[in-house]
Chains A and B, each alone.
Chain A
Amino acid sequence: MVAPSYQLKRADFIFKNDNDWEKILDRTLQRSPQELINELMSSELKGRGGAGFPTGLKWKLTLEEPGNEKYVICNADEGEPGTFKDREILTKVPYKVLTAMATCGHVIGSKKGYIYLRGEYKFLVPELKKAINEFEYYCKQKGLDFTIQIFLGSGAYICGEETALFDSMEGKRGEPRNKPPYPTSVGYLKKPTVVNNVETLAHTYTIFKYGANKFYDLGVQYSRGSKLFSVSGDTPKPGIYELELGMSLQEFVNEFGDGDTKAVQVGGASGFLVPRKRFESTSIGYRGKLSGISLPTGGSMMLFNSSRSMYNVLDNYLEFFREESCGQCTPCRVGCQQLHNGIKAVKRGEKPAQYLEKLLKLTETMKLTAKCGLGQSVANSFSSIVENFQEEMIY
């Protein structure tokens, strides 16, 4: 028997298109910023990019900052290996995202929104521009002073980190800044800025349309609502699925596995690898566990069956991080290189098996000392793979 909250439940909000964005926008613009923030707060919506910061609180903090020059940024720099949901949202329901951005502008007092779109998705630009033009035309008619501009990235994973994204938009190398100060007070052009993931914005549309309760009723405690999952790897049905948060990984594998699933990477290369023996005890959601382990994810779910070598998987991740590390802080720049060289040396027999212990210690150091999430999270996949599949690393 599976506990009710552990069950896999499908949901259908994000891609349900009733073409009612004008109506929803009219309605939200008539409500006060405080009212809208309260609605978001009581829905308990958390950021869907992976970090899970409460969205209502983010808007509230930015609203409370002084000054009248503020920005709304939609983060569409979807670079985490195994995620591809944001592109689908921008393709199928762009108006929901634009409406959410304008609503955020109304709440925090911003007249300017940007969509930071990764360069790999440049082919989306013509259609997206069309949608923006129509949207801006409607706003103008309604007397709302809010414009949206697309800013294209150029192939750098790290620019999805919000402060690196600001630097990139300011014409610099996309290197993360020190935090604090946080973007809500010092963001793009040093002004208070809300950065929300594409999917987070789409969920606010659902909340403003149906009310916070409808959203809150989905999912489990601490992990409310539904979430898009990008399913790939060894699965008979790869694709994008909207599911309620809180399901057990076993339920997920029962639905999406190919019958021979050895492990699942939850949260992309920067997330955790869960081996078969932990499927039952792992659930998908934000921290604040019901029982067992709860893993957050930006939506990336990659399945591996027993034909896959976990050494090759880790080797691939480390090559990725080594190339995508921005290079400004030593723990991440040198750490990624050493981890990558290290597992190769162990595999070739140039270093003893105990060397893996040293490498694990290095990831601990990186976790403590790297400047941003990239360097800090290399430890997640590294330790979860090395600890669970040590033999595959050595022989």
Chain B
Amino acid sequence: MSAIQDLIKNLADEHGRERPNLLPILQGVVEQEKFLSEYSMSEIARELDIPASDVYGTATFYSFLEHHNMGTYIIRVCKTITCSMKGKNQILLTIQDMLKIGLGETTPDGKFSLLQTNCLGWCHKAPAMLINDDVFTDLTPESVREILTKYIKK
């Protein structure tokens, strides 16, 4: 069995093999692999004995379930109104300048991907971003540089 098959089997053992268990399984694969490949999706379909199209349909509905290859650290910068008003663009430019990637791109070493996302719920501390599950708020170009430097060293 491949590593992904193993992972999917373990997740199915943990959560169950019914349709309501699909989302936690998809989330489990994304947590490990950072994205859902066609192979993972068809393996999930096999494990749960449901059509692969259902898995694909569900997976592609949710913006946090990526189905393209992603870096180890996924940066999601909030682009909704308050963050946008409070300097989101400068934050994006700083990140792009540091990592030399554009929106939707991944660094060549596969470490970082840069995305925008809708309201993260930190409007009172805008601008905000997520790096994987960790939240960073009250961002300035300076603080973003500090944060990224720490991640680059990881």
Residues of A within 8 A of B (CB): 78-84, 87, 118-123, 151-157, 168-175, 189, 230-234, 238-240, 265, 269, 302, 304, 308, 312-313, 316-317, 319-320, 323-324, 326
Contact = CB atoms under 8 A, between A and B. Distances in A.
Given A120-B120, A155-B63, A320-B118, A238 B20 contact: no
B125 interface: yes
Nearest to B48: A171
Contacts of A319: 79
Contacts of B24: 151-152
A173 B57 contact: yes
A323 B78 CA distance: 14
Nearest to A233: B82
Given A316-B81, A320-B80, A240 B124 contact: yes
Given A154-B65, A157-B118, A316-B80, A168 B123 contact: no
Interface stretch (B100-108, B130-138, B145-153): B130-138
B46 interface: no
Contact of B124 (A78, A80, A170, A239): A239
B84 A232 contact: no
Contacts of B18: 171
Interface in B74-115: 79-82, 84-85
19 contacts: A83-B123, A154-B27, A155-B64, A156-B62, A171-B18, A172-B19, A173-B58, A174-B62, A230-B123, A232-B82, A233-B81, A233-B85, A233-B123, A240-B124, A265-B81, A269-B81, A317-B81, A323-B118, A324-B118
A120 B124 contact: no
A120 B23 contact: no
A226 B61 CA distance: 36
Given A81-B123, A155-B64, A233-B123, A172 B117 contact: no
B84 A316 contact: yes
Given A123-B133, A320-B80, A82 B20 contact: no
Given A152-B27, A240-B124, A302 B82 contact: yes
Nearest to A309: B85
B128 to A, nearest CB: 10
B9 to A, nearest CB: 18
Contacts of A153: 62
Contacts of B57: 173
Contacts, number: 122
Interface of B: 18-24, 26-27, 57-58, 61-65, 79-82, 84-85, 117-126, 130, 133-135
Contacts of B82: 81-82, 232-233, 302
A155 B125 CA distance: 20
Nearest to A265: B81
Given A82-B82, A154-B23, A313-B81, 16 more contacts: A79-B119, A84-B121, A84-B122, A84-B124, A87-B121, A120-B121, A120-B130, A151-B24, A154-B62, A155-B62, A155-B63, A171-B21, A232-B126, A233-B123, A302-B81, A319-B79
Chain A CB within 10 Å, residue with most, of B27, B61, B62, B81: B81
A122 B28 CA distance: 13
B132 to A, nearest CB: 9
A82 B63 contact: no
Contacts of A232: 82, 123-124, 126
Given A82-B81, A269-B81, A238 B23 contact: no
Given A123-B133, A173-B61, A323-B118, A81 B23 contact: no
A222 B22 CA distance: 42
A241 to B, nearest CB: 10
Nearest to A269: B81
Contacts of A312: 84
Contacts of B135: 123
Given A230-B123, A239-B124, A156 B80 contact: no
A109 B114 CA distance: 47
Chain B CB within 10 Å, residue with most, of A87, A238, A239, A326: A238
A297 B97 CA distance: 40
A41 B20 CA distance: 34
B124 A156 contact: no
Contacts of B62: 119, 153-156, 174
